[in-house]
Amino acid sequence: MSFLNFFSSFFQKNKQFSPLLKNKNLLKTVDALNTYSDLTVLLNSYIDNKESKIVLPLVILDKQRGLYIFELRQWKRKELQNIEIETTKVTKRADNNLAFSFVHELIEQKISHLKISLPIYNFLILESINTKEYEELESSVQRYLPQDFLIFQDTDSAELFQKIHTLENKNLHLDDEILFSLYPQYTLEENNRKLFANAQQRKFVHNSTEKITNLRGKAKSGKSSAIILKVLEILSRNPNKKILLLSTNQSVKEHLQQNIQTASSKRGISIDTLTIIDVKSFLQNAYKQLNIDLAKDNSHTPLYIDERLLKKRKKAADLLVCDDAQLLEEPFLNYLELIQHKAQIIFVNHPKKYENEFLLHDSFFKPKERISFIEGSPLIQVMHHITKLLHTAQQDKSILICSNELTQQKLQEDLQNYIDPLQYTTLFYSNYTTIPDIVTPHIILLDICQFKTEIVEYALTRATHSVALFYEQECGSLKILKENYES
């Protein structure tokens, strides 16, 4: 593969290879390309090169054509007008490549195990020059800076898309394995399969963390995955940073811990300074450190904040991450802000609005069957519904029933005499505060009006095939859920 090293004196002066793309118009132009399904757009990303990082302002994987690498140059019109081109120093352009050879070699090295031939095309982003200024340049300059491979400050998304799509469609059908190899910092393993972070998640991982950052997203929009990638990215840059990750319960904690350990070991990132703990244990430890014993007072809730705890506050870590904040009580969330007032904190779905917020728009929660809202006598209706599910042709008939403890006890007693003992083993029970971070084909929800809408919605999203909500009377939570999910 040949490479074009033109204007060698300019390249020597620009020792900082490919600075970050910050032009607002071009950022908007690039962002629009995320709507095309065959394109994966990586903005201001880096590729690891031994002990260093090669920063690239823009990389696009076109699954039909190949990989596009965009280098950014801040040359001004005057500089290009005054340059004398010495043709003896210019190598003949081939394969439409304008980039330095070591970037190509690095990419080829990282994907060599895939044993594929990946076409690589190179473009220059001239951030300080517009289209009209380029057209006014000498023809000799234009000859060695071909317009088809240049992006100007006024290039719009349609023009950019046209430039990359005028290249030959090779019908390559490239997959995400290339992205996994080049960008492990955006790769996560979930249920024994690799996932590549979407554009919204990558933006969250890439951007700096403010004093308080709030990551918002619909149910199953990849918030926890984004948090895992963010934590690992921070530790890769600052291994000594103490990070505390709070989960809503023990089951969620174990799930997060397993995913982080898997991802960190594959990337060679130390997680010695990372602590993962459920919120109840975290608060118990805080009381223990102050020799405060609340065990004798049964009126206190699990996340009760005693005044004595507020007087002797100490930051929990350099960075505290609180997952699923919408499921937690307001006094507890306020306590976290208080102890972290001199340190960083990331909330996931905090009910309050913050100045620094990231939004994940997409949701991967798409049950195959319609979500059912069933009004009537819940216990009787549930038994009929379970019988119907157990007689379906589906191989996995696991059913998770979520309710308060009293309803759970009554239902268990009734069902033992109502269904076959062998089929009974497919039923699982949980209350809303301890629902495991798993997915199951079918979910049955009871006692809906006794709990916060956010908690019921979290339980609802554990299903892959069907969800049935049983109730006697409608309430505020049901109205909201119906608006969000009823067909």
Strands (DSSP E) contained in 310-380 are 319-322, 344-348, 356-360, 372-375
299 pLDDT band, cuts 50/70/90, is low
487 pLDDT band, cuts 50/70/90, is low
**Stretch 117-140: mean pLDDT:** 90
- Write down the pLDDT at residue 139: 86
Q: What are phi and psi of 202, to 5 degrees?
A: -65, -35
What is the span of the domain harbouring residue 343?
Answer: 185-360
Same domain, 201 and 348: yes
Cα dihedral 468→473→479→481 (10° resolution):
-20
Same domain, 475 and 344: no
Q: What number of other Cβ atoms are within 10 A of residue 281's Cβ?
A: 14
**Is residue 367 included in any domain, yes or no?**
no
- Write down the pLDDT at residue 179: 95
**Is residue 276 included in any domain, yes or no?**
yes
**Is residue 129 included in any domain, yes or no?**
yes
- Write down the pLDDT at residue 235: 95
Rounded distance, CA 350 to CA 110, Å?
A: 39
**Chain centroid to CA 64:** 25
- Write down the pLDDT at residue 92: 35
Rounded distance, CA 371 to CA 386, Å?
A: 15
What CATH number did the domain enclosing 282 receive?
3.40.50.300
- Write down the pLDDT at residue 226: 93
**Is residue 365 included in any domain, yes or no?**
no
Same domain, 134 and 268: no
Same domain, 24 and 144: yes
97 pLDDT band, cuts 50/70/90, is very low
Asked whether residue 169 carries a pLDDT value surpassing 70, the answer given is: yes
Rounded distance, CA 147 to CA 135, Å?
A: 9
394 or 219: which leads in pLDDT: 219
Rounded distance, CA 328 to CA 214, Å?
A: 15
Asked whether residue 409 carries a pLDDT value surpassing 80, the answer given is: yes
Same domain, 313 and 394: no
Do the beta carbons of residue 411 and residue 401 sit within 8 Å?
yes
Rounded distance, CA 382 to CA 121, Å?
A: 59
- Write down the pLDDT at residue 350: 94
**Stretch 345-354: mean pLDDT:** 94
**Is residue 1 included in any domain, yes or no?**
no
**Stretch 378-397: mean pLDDT:** 81
Same domain, 118 and 167: yes
Domain boundary residue among 302, 328, 360? 360
Q: Provide the mean pLDDT of the chain.
A: 84
Task: Work out the percent of the chain whose per-residue pLDDT is above 90.
Answer: 41
Do the beta carbons of residue 222 and residue 204 sit within 8 Å?
no
Asked whether residue 6 carries a pLDDT value surpassing 50, the answer given is: no
| pLDDT tens figures, 433-457 | 777 666 788 999 999 999 888 888 8
200 or 90: which leads in pLDDT: 200
| Residue tagged 């900082």 (tokens) | 16
- Write down the pLDDT at residue 250: 87
- Write down the pLDDT at residue 2: 29
Same domain, 356 and 424: no
| pLDDT tens figures, 313-343 | 889 999 999 999 998 999 999 999 999 999 9
Same domain, 32 and 63: yes
Asked whether residue 391 carries a pLDDT value surpassing 90, the answer given is: no
Q: Closest Cα to residue 371, out of 383, 359, 385? A: 385
Q: What number of other Cβ atoms are within 10 A of residue 150's Cβ?
A: 19
16 pLDDT band, cuts 50/70/90, is very low
Q: What number of other Cβ atoms are within 10 A of residue 1's Cβ?
A: 11
Rounded distance, CA 355 to CA 338, Å?
A: 17
Same domain, 114 and 198: no
- Write down the pLDDT at residue 445: 94
Same domain, 251 and 332: yes
Same domain, 98 and 73: yes
**Is residue 141 included in any domain, yes or no?**
yes
Domain boundary residue among 317, 332, 360? 360
Domain boundary residue among 179, 194, 225? 179
- Write down the pLDDT at residue 67: 94
Asked whether residue 373 carries a pLDDT value surpassing 80, the answer given is: yes
Domains of the chain: total: 3
Asked whether residue 68 carries a pLDDT value surpassing 50, the answer given is: yes
**Is residue 3 included in any domain, yes or no?**
no
**Is residue 2 included in any domain, yes or no?**
no
Same domain, 461 and 392: yes
